[in-house]
Amino acid sequence: MTEPDVEPEPICSARGCTAPAEWALRWNNPRIHTEERRKTWLACDLHRAQLSDFLSARGFLREVEPFSE
């Protein structure tokens, strides 16, 4: 008997964090991505500001929105 495929719960992108994702941080690197291209980091409530600050300091952060699957 095989187990059904179960998608893992999305978790925070902060190193070592296993908390559920609450926020989607949409970003791109304008030197290598087109304006329309968006990459996504997921964040828990605890790491939202830290990850946003990291991306903002580099001019990469485009938008932050609540995460929904």
pLDDT tens across the length of the chain (69 residues): 566 778 889 999 999 999 999 999 999 999 998 989 999 999 999 999 999 999 999 999 999 999 998
52 three-class SS: helix
Nearest one of 34, 41, 31, 30 to 64, comparing CA atoms = 41
38 three-class SS: coil
Give buried/exposed letters for 34-67 (b at 16+ CB in 10 A, else e).
eeeeeeebbbbeebbeebbebbeeeebbeebeeb
pTM, two decimals, is 0.85
Structural domain boundaries of the chain?
Answer: 23-33+45-66
